[in-house]
Structure 1
């Protein structure tokens, strides 16, 4: 019997962790390709009225864990949105507006500082072993390490760096996400203008 159904699409950053957990636990997950950019069927809206992805529907109904959901929500709302606003213009995927990039950078760094503080005496976000919260938030913050959280930043933020490397090296995550990329010096708008991204 299927453990449940996951609605999303391959390549969605919020889905990587979910697929990694399913792989690690040998869960039979029914995957239904659902991409908001290509249109959402009306039948999907009964599971998620806002039409957002990913959505998981367990075979026996939804189950949750407050701490795991807290960190997943934090990553999704407090890290992902400003992080995209910071690096997307720097790599040419969005218009560059200096004030907006600066605002997004400040919001991202403030949110990541919450993680840094939380991880001071913890290996993982929740409990003593990797959970969906770790996999989910790591998949969100991965692009930051690739583009903007450079060597200097990593040296100044050892807790988030250690945590990310630990989570990224969990076999089920690494099998889906591939090798981690760490930028030496954060990209700047000049790199985009020069075509060096």
Structure 2
């Protein structure tokens, strides 16, 4: 008998961990496929799941949950004496450690490396290369942990194994070819052990390991026409590889990445507009009317400039959450620009019909090298906006206030760079 329903779209790998946990506890969860962009926008759906995202769970007694890890934990906890959540508090905490690692480390790498292969987003070679290097570090940690262990926590399969296996399955199926996976013998042994368990195999089916590394389909991109540099424009800094998203203590100092000498933006005449004050004011006050009024009352058009950013490949975007992930990845690689920039990029529209666009405020009258050096910069068109035009000002206000409708399109999600 089913304990409830999980709403999702077909073949959502995040649902697999819930169904596997249910199988281990002798429970059933009914998988209900909904039409994204339609069913998840209905008032009755949003009343239960206000973010409108999937997967979501509705129990037979009217209990509602969203976020896949929370759903998996709930289902794993329903059987008294279950071994899925550990034998004691220490094991329970360790299980949560591995679950969190899967979300914080593996999920972003999957978005950068696998999503272009699946056709969800355009490929960015620099992001793909970075993802390939980043995952090696994670795999080494997992492989070393399994040197003398059969499973990640304790002596039986737990939710940690289930979440990690479902997070890695698409990697093993598509890009971990024999040469790539060869150094990780302990991890390979564990993965094959888990995915060939009858209860796991019932959900995932037969997992065939990749024989050849899949690559994204190459698409011809029309190069923009070259423009003559302005007389007062500074030369573009040499392109640098994207910064590693390691733990803070392992990251190189940002000072080491900067060219010798002072940043040209620091040599500009002192401005009456303090960008850091604006960021604090924006964060601590209602956007409309308080923050937008403060911005335009204090904005210095001589020391700053306004730029509209539009993603070049909006016609190729699919799920809105994937578009939001693209924005998040771009912002992560703009860390060096934080002192000189403020921005709002939003996702407008719905699944399979959405766009990424927004506005940035930059110190000076050009796009800073700290932005043009970012790996994702070439995926956006940056156009300087007339900050004295009342229509442009109101459009900027809408983008930083995340109005329900912007430029005639429904707001779906957004991120602020500050």
Asked if Structure 1 and Structure 2 have the same fold, meaning a TM-score greater than 0.5 normalized by the shorter chain, the answer is yes
Aligned to 1:44: 49
Q: CA contact under 8 A between 1:18 and 1:132: conserved in structure 2? A: no
Aligned to 2:218: 193
Aligned to 1:21: 21
Give how far 1:113 is off.
1.7
Give how far 1:161 is off.
0.7
- The structure with the largest strand share of the pair is 2
Q: CA contact under 8 A between 1:8 and 1:33: conserved in structure 2? A: yes
Within 5 Å, which residues of 2 pair with 1:98-117? 98-117=125-144
- For the structure 1 residues 32 and 92, does the alpha-carbon distance in structure 2 shift closer, same or farther, using more than 3 Å as the test? closer
Aligned to 2:95: 68
- Residue among 169, 173, 187 paired with 1:142: 169
Higher RCO by CA contacts (8 Å cutoff, separation 6 or greater) = 1
Q: For residues 187 and 30 of structure 1, what CA distance do their matches in structure 2 show?
A: 33
- Computed over aligned residues only, the root mean square deviation of the Cα atoms, in angstroms, reads 3.1
TM, length-normalised to structure 2? 0.40
- The structure with the largest helix share of the pair is 1
Give how far 1:146 is off.
1.3
Which stretches of structure 1, 4 residues or more, deviate above 4 A after TM superposition? Answer: 4-8, 28-37, 45-48, 57-60
Q: For residues 184 and 30 of structure 1, what CA distance do their matches in structure 2 show?
A: 34
TM, length-normalised to structure 1? 0.79
Q: Which runs of 5+ in 1 are unaligned?
A: none
Q: Which whole-Å deviations, capped at 9, do the CAs of 1:157-192 have from their partners, x for residues lacking one?
A: 101111110000111100010011211121234xx2
Q: Does 1:81 align with 2:108?
A: yes
Q: Give the paired residue count.
A: 187
Q: CA contact under 8 A between 1:21 and 1:132: conserved in structure 2? A: yes
Q: For residues 82 and 26 of structure 1, what CA distance do their matches in structure 2 show?
A: 33
Larger Rg: 2
Q: Does 1:152 align with 2:157?
A: no
Q: For residues 121 and 97 of structure 1, what CA distance do their matches in structure 2 show?
A: 38
Mean CA deviation greater in 10-19 or 164-173:
10-19
Secondary structure at 1:156 match in 2? coil
Q: For residues 104 and 35 of structure 2, what CA distance do their matches in structure 1 show?
A: 19
Q: For residues 120 and 127 of structure 1, what CA distance do their matches in structure 2 show?
A: 14
Mean CA deviation greater in 175-184 or 15-24:
15-24
Aligned to 2:12: 12
Q: For residues 211 and 141 of structure 2, what CA distance do their matches in structure 1 show?
A: 23
Q: Which runs of 5+ in 2 are unaligned?
A: 51-62, 79-84, 86-91, 220-418
